[in-house]
Structure 1
Amino acid sequence: MPNVSRRTRILAVCAAVVAALLAVAVFAPLPVSIVEPGLTADVLGADQGTQIITVSGTQVRKTSGQLRMVTIQATAPDASVHFTDVWKAWFKKDQAVMPRDSVYPSGGSVKDIEKANQKEMTDSQDAATTAALKHLGLSPAKVTVDLHLEDVGGPSAGLLFTLGIIDKIDGDGRGGDLTGGRTIAGTGTIDGSGKVGAVGGVPLKEQAARRDGATVFLVPRGECSDAKAELPSGLRLIPVDTLDGALDALDALRSGGRLPAC
């Protein structure tokens, strides 16, 4: 048998170690989620046969057009994502890879995460109601707003809920619709004072919006860079910082006035 040099043996061992590490890298689960465009819902309409926004204690008007809240959908929090999944997602325009902690920041069990997401949605709906009634000068002691949307969690529909409540009660303040008859989508958190906050996943949400017929997309101004990077054809981008700014932009859109730009 020919002699095998010490150098050759060392190289063979190193190659075996590298191969083992590569195998682990390929097959070991990664702390990421694969996300893609999710459902959208017209907050002026119904979800599973129930109106998404129901108002009592004041007159409600008939609306036209659509205000569509948008979502992303991600691999389940307990699902394993591997290198091959990430590799495939890299080449798909309708998929992205995000740190799991940014998609499911609460951690814990699946049940804990679902509970946390539902609380964020409830808190968002409460803030949207507060911001809308404050803008309209209506007392929450006299006017009741119920928001119903199944199978959606998180706070990112806050802005659209607020606009939907205002459109249901007051429209543009002159008897017309906030939408001007258009299909308008958007995303953004909101607090009780009407400040709009960032949400993440904007490029995929834009895809969902355009897929479902939107021609205008409201985006938190701080996410303009992401929003412009992969803006779908036929979708007009409008950045907003506050509820008042969003209402002013929609007024300008209806009247042909100057719109804010990213």
Structure 2
Amino acid sequence: MLSRLTRSQAVAICALPVVALLATAAFAPLPFSVAQPGMTANVLGANKGTQVITISGAPTRKTSGQLRMTTIEATGPNAQVSLGDVLGNWFRTDRAVMPRDAVYPSGDSLKEIERHNAEQMQQSQDAATRAALKYLDLSGDKVKVRLSLADVGGPSAGLLFTLGIIDKLDGDGSGGDLTGGRDIAGTGTIDAAGKVGPVGGVALKTQAARRDGATVFLVPKAECSDAKAELPKGLRLIPVTTLKGAVDSLVALEKGKGPVPVC
């Protein structure tokens, strides 16, 4: 004959499957990636011993100041992210928990992702070169630009590449540096017509920029609210939608004349 269970025993036995389920969920892989501020690189200088921008066919100028492209680093597409990882990073201001599909194309292998990012980087560099030469009214048949940035993929450095080419060829248009000698960072895609597009991860990129000494950050206007969410102290945001707008803002900032947009 079975003995009658007390209420406390019954609750304890019923709780066992729940505890087991929670324990399993805590360690089971989830479809998320954890991102953090990544490296930055001054496109006016060298990265890993190689000049980022090399120009032939036209005289270039010596620049001061910096134009820093920014990145984020995320757990790999095959990394195991658990519930514990998600909860542990959810409320951190220097981390972002993002759907894996938002970081990596769904279903792609690591090699496919690397190839995709490399293609996007090449397309971004080509568009940046065309946009810069068009802005300066220079011929791509005469002026040749080579861009080199190791171990970075994707299109988000397009705006900074373009500004770097312009600064090396023309500066602010009157002999001065486009940067005004400042350490300026930013992010944004660009097309050959000079339109600036959003990129994602800007709250983490502003942290990377300030960590590496930037005091001004160029952000696609559509992402102003994201950039302001965790804006580091001492970093000024300038929203941009076009290449001309970005150049005009930097010149106004340098000369102290004219309006400088704010988010």
TM bucket normalised to smaller: over 0.9
Counterpart for residue 103 of structure 1: 103
Counterpart for residue 233 of structure 1: 233
3-state SS in 1 of match to 2:92: coil
- Is 1:215 aligned to residue 219 of structure 2? no
Counterpart for residue 67 of structure 1: 67
3-state SS in 2 of match to 1:192: coil
Aligned-pair identity in percent equals: 68
3-state SS in 2 of match to 1:152: coil
Letter aligned with residue 249 of structure 1? S
TM-score, structure 1 as length reference: 0.94
Counterpart for residue 199 of structure 1: 199
- State the aligned residue count: 262
How far the C-alpha of 1:23 sits from its partner, in A, is 2.2
1:2-41 superposed matches below 5 A: 3-4=3-4, 14-41=14-41
Indicate if the aligned counterparts of 2:68 and 2:209 stay in contact, CA closer than 8 A. Answer: yes
How far the C-alpha of 1:255 sits from its partner, in A, is 1.7
How far the C-alpha of 1:20 sits from its partner, in A, is 3.1
Counterpart for residue 260 of structure 2: 259
- Is 1:167 aligned to residue 187 of structure 2? no
3-state SS in 2 of match to 1:3: coil
How far the C-alpha of 1:2 sits from its partner, in A, is 6.2
Indicate if the aligned counterparts of 1:106 and 1:116 stay in contact, CA closer than 8 A. Answer: no
3-state SS in 2 of match to 1:40: strand
How far the C-alpha of 1:21 sits from its partner, in A, is 2.4
Counterpart for residue 245 of structure 1: 245
CA deviation map 1:45-68 (0-9, x unaligned): 001211100011111111110000
1:48-127 superposed matches below 5 A: 48-105=48-105, 107-127=107-127
How far the C-alpha of 1:7 sits from its partner, in A, is 9.3
Counterpart for residue 152 of structure 1: 152
- Give distance in 1, aligned partners of 2:57 and 2:214: 31
CA deviation map 1:168-210 (0-9, x unaligned): 1111111111000000000000011111010111111000000
- Give distance in 1, aligned partners of 2:251 and 2:147: 25
CA spacing shift, 1:107–1:155, aligned 2, 3 Å? farther
How far the C-alpha of 1:94 sits from its partner, in A, is 1.3
Letter aligned with residue 193 of structure 1? A
Indicate if the aligned counterparts of 1:106 and 1:113 stay in contact, CA closer than 8 A. Answer: no
5+ residue gaps, structure 2: none
5+ residue gaps, structure 1: none
Indicate if the aligned counterparts of 2:93 and 2:230 stay in contact, CA closer than 8 A. Answer: no
Counterpart for residue 182 of structure 2: 182
Indicate if the aligned counterparts of 1:27 and 1:83 stay in contact, CA closer than 8 A. Answer: yes
Counterpart for residue 139 of structure 2: 139
- Give distance in 1, aligned partners of 2:14 and 2:111: 44
- Give distance in 1, aligned partners of 2:240 and 2:14: 56
How far the C-alpha of 1:32 sits from its partner, in A, is 0.7
- Give distance in 1, aligned partners of 2:165 and 2:252: 20
How far the C-alpha of 1:103 sits from its partner, in A, is 1.1
3-state SS in 2 of match to 1:73: strand
- Give distance in 2, aligned partners of 1:10 and 1:116: 56
Indicate if the aligned counterparts of 2:128 and 2:162 stay in contact, CA closer than 8 A. Answer: yes
Letter aligned with residue 81 of structure 2? V
How far the C-alpha of 1:78 sits from its partner, in A, is 1.2
3-state SS in 2 of match to 1:176: coil
CA deviation map 1:228-251 (0-9, x unaligned): 111100000000001011011101
How far the C-alpha of 1:18 sits from its partner, in A, is 2.3
How far the C-alpha of 1:16 sits from its partner, in A, is 3.5
